Chains A and B, each alone.
Chain A
Amino acid sequence: MNVRAHMSMLFHLDKCIGCHTCSIACKNLWTDRKGAEYMWWNNVETRPGTGYPTRWEDQRHYRGGWELKGSKLRLRLHSRAGGLGKIFYNPALPTLDDYYEPFTFRYQDLFNAPAGDDQPTAIPISKITGDPLDIQTGPNWDDDLGGSGIYASNDPSLDGVPEEVRRQMNELERVVFNYLPRICNHCLNPACAAACPSGAIYKRAEDGVVLVNENKCRAWRMCVAACPYKKVYYNWSTGKSEKCILCFPRLETGQAPACAHSCVGRIRYMGVLLYDADRIPDAAMVPDEQLVEAHRKVILDPFDPEVIAGARANGIEDSWIEAAQNSPAYKFVKEWGIALPLHAEYRTMAMMYYIPPLSPVVSVIENELFKLDLADERHDFELFQRLDAARLPVKYLANLFSAGNEQIIREVMHKLLAVRLYMRHKTVRGSVNGDTLGYLAEAGLTTEKAEAIYKLTTLPNQKEQFVIPQYHRETAVEAWKDPLAHKGEVGFGFIQPPQRGE
């Protein structure tokens, strides 16, 4: 056993209202620079939709992630020899059009326009060239201006959803969407790091943050193509790749990442997960339908004395072990089993987790009136028994969160619905009947667990939401410098702006 620690973020999708505050916080903090105009290290997508960059999940085109070939795991992008052959021309790279041409508006026109018969308008201009621009798309066009006929119906994750259901999803009375916020998944088996010809990408030991060393980056851009989540971006101005850094400077000072901190709906949780690095190869090489289960097995129980001993042997501080025991990520992912990694089939072992969203029941038309597709009695339990009546097809959620394994999604949905039924009976009716308890038991939950889930979902304070241990940078500094000298000098270092070819 090789115990290591990881900082993981968890997204409760039922709570996301799609306000993009996280994206703006991230933009203002990190990507408000020349060359980074088009980057959204954190973005929020409307689902079903094509996402950002357009159809990023279409790996037949973008060739991101890993694929299992026989008993070996290979990059879908290229073999080593193939990578050398395509090193100067990589057709799998997304173009700027696949992201979008960043734009702003010439607001000065509103003040400077000469007097005329028409109201002056602020015309859109490109943020790169400054020229007037006919805006064709944006980082979340469906959310901005609609166009579901194009964007929602071309969602690659709808593959395998029956044609009839897909048609129904476009009908007004059955239409459904949810939001999907995305940051870098800081994978355990990062394809970006594996594809980098310069060896510039690394996963740092103390918390698993995947970083680009800009001194080593030589702009080959293989990481951009190899990342299946398209979360490594190329800065055209500096000639270096950039990506989400999980706000490590904030984490090191005990603050949650800017996206999580600014989240209006408080959908995000941060916590430590302990994992067994030795199990990663096996977990990444099981058949698709077992991937989520194998992934869960890599995450270790922080209360297990053997794990604690292993963690100490690997130099993990006691405060980190304690943080792992209090970690909301551990509770949601492992203890309650309701949080899942995004697109486990990419086999990068993503370490950011999602609690899938619930959705309303499909409506039907009876006597020219809309009516929920439910029996007249026992409305509460109907959806529990007939998950197929939910507007978001189980198959769709399974494509997103469980590598196509519908059984896992059903289990998670049952748990979420059981907690909801239990708490509704308890708070609205004042008592819990036997049926409700029966459903709770059927979902594999106890009343204590249900209440704990309810509490952490709806009423967490910030210390429960973000369990961030001390980073002890001073001990890390000891390895290479006198800590007192470092303390005196820090902040007076040389600033090295990234430069092309250096």
Chain B
Amino acid sequence: MPFRSFPFRIFKRGRIPVLFVLVATALIFMTLSTGASFDRQTADQGQQIFQQKCASCHTVGGGKLVGPDLQGVTALRDRQWLKEFILDPNSKFDSGDPLATQLLADYNSIRMPNMGLTSADADAILVFLESSISAPEPTPTVPSGVGDAAAGQRYFMGQTPLANGGTACNACHSISGSGLLDGGTLGPDLTQVLARYGEPGLIAAISTINFPTMIGIFATKPLSPQEVADLVAYFSETNAQPAPVKTKTGLYLGIAGGIVVILFAVLFLFWPRQRQSISEKLRAGKL
């Protein structure tokens, strides 16, 4: 019996490897056949990501905005360095990388924010930059010089709400001389923001707000072109003011802290008496 079943068993065992080889071969062929359009697809993805995340500050062949024109950058720089810079620009700036330091000096000391891209995203962007396609330019939708600085100030201060429901600028940013506390302290001071970004860069930055902290608020509540124009007009007005040497925030915080200390001191005097019930006083012999 075992003698007769032997070839049968071999055949039965062999079935699975045969099936596996067939399927694997088919898969490899499918992959190879799609491989031709693989780069093409990645470049498209890269273009999309570029437009979402990078286009507010960079162009490809359109001249410099806030950041440099990236046409031909992949030929100019080492690919590995570019990828590291895209993924974590801050560590490049902090580590004193000579190239990064030079760039910072050339571009008004505006650091490129960490855009939160994945490694795959960065690869896609690099593939896109390597390809010869140039990104359609996000032309500034706002012609310069049509904004109303007074209206811009009202938007900044929140006196006129933004049309799409975005948060007023001074919740987080300050401009010296605007209101009691000059504004918030979460974001940077914007008094001389125009000088730092340049007008096209500033318009691009406010139109497609891409800063990691702000994107959560403004992604669904973008500013209208007129609002952008008004704000830029306001910023160009404040640009003439001297940059604030120091904000009054410290003073106000000091006053508030002093009041808190005084209240605690008063509390300290009255708290023990307030806490002791008549029954406790009785037992302590204080009645």
Q: Does A442 contact B (CB under 8 A)?
A: no
A98 pairs with B283, CB closer than 8 A? no
Query: In the complex, which residues of chain B have a beta carbon less than 8 angstroms from the beta carbon of A54?
Result: 277-279, 282
Q: Which residue in chain A gives the minimum CB-CB distance to B277? A: A97
B277 pairs with A95, CB closer than 8 A? yes
Q: Does B280 contact A (CB under 8 A)?
A: yes
Q: Does B287 contact A (CB under 8 A)?
A: yes
Query: From residue B232, how far is it (CB to closest CB) to chain A in Å?
Result: 50
Query: From residue B56, how far is it (CB to closest CB) to chain A in Å?
Result: 51
Q: Which residue in chain A gives the minimum CB-CB distance to B276? A: A97
Give per-residue flags for A77-102: 1 if the beta carbon is below 8 A from chain B beta carbons, else 0. Answer: 00000000000000000110110100
B280 pairs with A55, CB closer than 8 A? no
Query: From residue A138, how far is it (CB to closest CB) to chain B in Å?
Result: 10
A98 pairs with B287, CB closer than 8 A? no
Give per-residue flags for A33-58: 1 if the beta carbon is below 8 A from chain B beta carbons, else 0. Answer: 00000000000000000100111001
Give per-residue flags for A110-154: 1 if the beta carbon is below 8 A from chain B beta carbons, else 0. Answer: 000000000000000000000000001100000000000011001
Secondary structure dominating the interface of A: loop
A150 pairs with B278, CB closer than 8 A? no
Query: From residue A101, how far is it (CB to closest CB) to chain B in Å?
Result: 10
Query: From residue A379, how far is it (CB to closest CB) to chain B in Å?
Result: 40
Q: Which residue in chain B gives the minimum CB-CB distance to A61? A: B278
Query: From residue B278, how far is it (CB to closest CB) to chain A in Å?
Result: 5
Contact of A136 among B278, B283, B285 (CB under 8 A): B283
Query: In the complex, which residues of chain B have a beta carbon less than 8 angstroms from the beta carbon of A53?
Result: 279
List CB contacts (< 8 Å) of B172-223 with chain A.
none
Contact of B282 among A94, A100, A154 (CB under 8 A): A154
Query: In the complex, which residues of chain B have a beta carbon less than 8 angstroms from the beta carbon of A151?
Result: 282
Q: Which residue in chain A gives the minimum CB-CB distance to B274? A: A91
Q: Which residue in chain B gives the minimum CB-CB distance to A100? A: B279
Q: Which residue in chain B gives the minimum CB-CB distance to A137? A: B279
Query: In the complex, which residues of chain A have a beta carbon less than 8 angstroms from the beta carbon of B278?
Result: 54-55, 58, 61, 94, 98
The complex places the Cα of A97 from the Cα of B282 at a distance, in Å, of 11
The complex places the Cα of A58 from the Cα of B282 at a distance, in Å, of 12
The complex places the Cα of A95 from the Cα of B277 at a distance, in Å, of 7
Contact of B287 among A95, A137, A154 (CB under 8 A): A154
How many A residues touch the partner, as a band? Answer: 10 to 19
Query: In the complex, which residues of chain A have a beta carbon less than 8 angstroms from the beta carbon of B283?
Result: 136-137, 150
Contact of B280 among A50, A94, A97 (CB under 8 A): A97
The complex places the Cα of A50 from the Cα of B283 at a distance, in Å, of 11
The complex places the Cα of A150 from the Cα of B282 at a distance, in Å, of 7
Of A54, A94, A150, the most chain B CB neighbours within 10 A belong to A54
Query: In the complex, which residues of chain B have a beta carbon less than 8 angstroms from the beta carbon of A94?
Result: 277-278
Query: In the complex, which residues of chain A have a beta carbon less than 8 angstroms from the beta carbon of B280?
Result: 97, 136
Query: In the complex, which residues of chain B have a beta carbon less than 8 angstroms from the beta carbon of A137?
Result: 279, 283
The complex places the Cα of A51 from the Cα of B103 at a distance, in Å, of 83
Query: From residue A272, how far is it (CB to closest CB) to chain B in Å?
Result: 38
The complex places the Cα of A91 from the Cα of B279 at a distance, in Å, of 15
Q: Which residue in chain A gives the minimum CB-CB distance to B280? A: A97
List CB contacts (< 8 Å) of B251-287 with chain A.
277-280, 282-283, 285, 287
Query: From residue A413, how far is it (CB to closest CB) to chain B in Å?
Result: 31
Query: In the complex, which residues of chain A have a beta carbon less than 8 angstroms from the beta carbon of B285?
Result: 150
Query: From residue A133, how far is it (CB to closest CB) to chain B in Å?
Result: 15
Q: Which residue in chain B gives the minimum CB-CB distance to A95? A: B277
The complex places the Cα of A137 from the Cα of B283 at a distance, in Å, of 9
Query: In the complex, which residues of chain A have a beta carbon less than 8 angstroms from the beta carbon of B287?
Result: 55, 154
Query: In the complex, which residues of chain A have a beta carbon less than 8 angstroms from the beta carbon of B277?
Result: 54, 94-95, 97-98
Q: Which residue in chain B gives the minimum CB-CB distance to A55? A: B278
Q: Which residue in chain A gives the minimum CB-CB distance to B284? A: A150
Query: In the complex, which residues of chain B have a beta carbon less than 8 angstroms from the beta carbon of A150?
Result: 282-283, 285
Query: In the complex, which residues of chain B have a beta carbon less than 8 angstroms from the beta carbon of A97?
Result: 277, 279-280
Query: In the complex, which residues of chain B have a beta carbon less than 8 angstroms from the beta carbon of A50?
Result: 282
Q: Which residue in chain B gives the minimum CB-CB distance to A58? A: B278
Query: From residue B287, how far is it (CB to closest CB) to chain A in Å?
Result: 6
Query: From residue B4, how far is it (CB to closest CB) to chain A in Å?
Result: 71
The complex places the Cα of A95 from the Cα of B285 at a distance, in Å, of 19
The complex places the Cα of A49 from the Cα of B277 at a distance, in Å, of 17
Give per-residue flags for A147-172: 1 if the beta carbon is below 8 A from chain B beta carbons, else 0. Answer: 00011001000000000000000000
Query: In the complex, which residues of chain B have a beta carbon less than 8 angstroms from the beta carbon of A58?
Result: 278
Query: From residue B205, how far is it (CB to closest CB) to chain A in Å?
Result: 50
Q: Which residue in chain B gives the minimum CB-CB distance to A50? A: B282
The complex places the Cα of A251 from the Cα of B287 at a distance, in Å, of 42
The complex places the Cα of A320 from the Cα of B48 at a distance, in Å, of 93
Query: In the complex, which residues of chain B have a beta carbon less than 8 angstroms from the beta carbon of A136?
Result: 279-280, 283
Query: From residue B282, how far is it (CB to closest CB) to chain A in Å?
Result: 6
The complex places the Cα of A86 from the Cα of B283 at a distance, in Å, of 28
Query: From residue B266, how far is it (CB to closest CB) to chain A in Å?
Result: 15
Q: Which residue in chain A gives the minimum CB-CB distance to B287? A: A154
Query: In the complex, which residues of chain B have a beta carbon less than 8 angstroms from the beta carbon of A55?
Result: 278-279, 282, 287
Query: In the complex, which residues of chain B have a beta carbon less than 8 angstroms from the beta carbon of A61?
Result: 278
Query: From residue B268, how far is it (CB to closest CB) to chain A in Å?
Result: 18
The complex places the Cα of A58 from the Cα of B287 at a distance, in Å, of 11
The complex places the Cα of A55 from the Cα of B285 at a distance, in Å, of 14
The complex places the Cα of A53 from the Cα of B282 at a distance, in Å, of 12
Query: In the complex, which residues of chain B have a beta carbon less than 8 angstroms from the beta carbon of A100?
Result: 279
The complex places the Cα of A100 from the Cα of B282 at a distance, in Å, of 13
The complex places the Cα of A97 from the Cα of B259 at a distance, in Å, of 32
The complex places the Cα of A61 from the Cα of B280 at a distance, in Å, of 14
The complex places the Cα of A53 from the Cα of B280 at a distance, in Å, of 12
Q: Which residue in chain A gives the minimum CB-CB distance to B279? A: A54
The complex places the Cα of A100 from the Cα of B287 at a distance, in Å, of 18
Query: From residue A149, how far is it (CB to closest CB) to chain B in Å?
Result: 10
Query: In the complex, which residues of chain A have a beta carbon less than 8 angstroms from the beta carbon of B279?
Result: 53-55, 97-98, 100, 136-137
Query: From residue B270, how far is it (CB to closest CB) to chain A in Å?
Result: 11
Residue pairs across A and B with Cβ atoms less than 8 A apart, 9 shown, are A53-B279, A54-B282, A55-B282, A58-B278, A97-B277, A98-B279, A100-B279, A136-B279, A136-B283
- The residues of A with any CB-CB pair to B shorter than 8 Å are 50, 53-55, 58, 61, 94-95, 97-98, 100, 136-137, 150-151, 154
Known interface pairs A55-B287, A58-B278, A97-B277; 8 further A-B residue pairs with C-beta atoms within 8 A, sorted by A's residue number: A54-B282, A55-B278, A55-B279, A55-B282, A97-B280, A98-B277, A98-B279, A136-B279
In the complex, the 3 A-B pairs of residues with the closest C-beta atoms, listed nearest first: A97-B277, A54-B279, A95-B277
